Amino acid sequence: MTSMCLIFLFYLFIYLFIYYCVLLRIVLPAVVAAVGINYGQITNNLPSPDDVVPLVRSIGASKVKLYDADPRVLRAFSNTGVEFIVRLGNEYLSKMRNPDKALAWMKVNVQAHLPNTNITCITVGNEILTFNDTSLNDNLLPAMQSVHTVLVNLGLDKHVSVTTAHSLAILETSYPPSAGAFRRDLIECITPILNFNVKTGSPFLINGYPLFAHKANPKQVPINFVLFQPNQGVVDPDTNLHYDNMLFAQIDAVYFALASLGFKKLPVQISETGWPSKGDEDETGAIIENSKKYNGNLIKLMSQKRGMPMRPNSDLNI
């Protein structure tokens, strides 16, 4: 993420997502089993956690991802059945290498809320590998391993998985999707993490924001292509697969990148996506109308049970 204004606005995603769903009277069909919302709180005038519960239920969302492990939110969603992803902030990575500190964090932030609150995943850090911070990179996998070991010792590893969320900037190439490949300078770091995902059965999480692709090249990446609006789409010249939206192209690029390293079967989930209602001066597409289109069209797309062009029979997990 390159804009602080956009980062701030993305934290409003839960509010905008719910607002537009209610405004458009969009209810997620029962067949859509893997759609969720990000719940950020770095702003003001947000509803209380207790008031968010009926809003989440009103649109049929079954998953919530927190940017922390806020006990107020976790308590509010007790006995609702909603699946929760909680996050260990980047500032905790070095501490989590210490088994005692990892255990202490786990007891307070996860174990204390189970089983009433359905915490199913812990993300250790966010977009670490694209900060170009050697210390963070070096601490990421040991922190993930330490947290997972604590889960095993507490007998919680079968219910709670451990992973980390990545930015699409970990890709060196993403177009066409079949050319998807990880940055060469990150392969040494990311391969052990992928092995960890496979060994522990945790998903590969990616934060996908088509807005950035449009902003970087609006002529080649037209607005309708990124907003799930009718358009002619593009055809991957190597696979002949047709893409009618940027998000699907981005997801398949990740799948191709994983396959190039021998991780063809590792599941990919979108841990963040959305569209801001306002942005910086050079982000002309960041307006309320486009935010409404992106979020609303994505929900409709989810209801169609479409897989990726590369994996048409696989569920789309967002």
Start-to-end C-alpha separation, the chain: 19
The active-site residue, picked from 83, 188, 272, 283, is 272
Return the structure tokens found at 162: 């451990």
The CA distance from 173 to 47, in Å, is 40
* Closest CA relative to residue 148, chosen from 181, 108, 197, 204: 197
Strands 161-167 and 118-126: parallel
Q: Please state, as a whole number, how many other Cβ atoms lie within 10 Å of the Cβ of residue 76.
A: 17
Catalytic-residue membership of 127: yes
> To which residue do tokens 């458009």 refer?
24
The active-site residue, picked from 83, 127, 188, 283, is 127
* Closest CA relative to residue 160, chosen from 109, 207, 214: 109
The CA distance from 113 to 316, in Å, is 28
Q: With the C-alpha atoms ordered 44, 50, 51, 53, is the resulting torsion angle positive or negative?
A: positive
Contacts of 269 (CB under 8 A, 6+ apart): 34, 203, 204, 205, 206, 317, 318
* Closest CA relative to residue 151, chosen from 93, 110, 117, 118: 110
For the chain, give the number of residues. 318
The CA distance from 15 to 38, in Å, is 9
Provide the annotated active-site residues: 127, 272
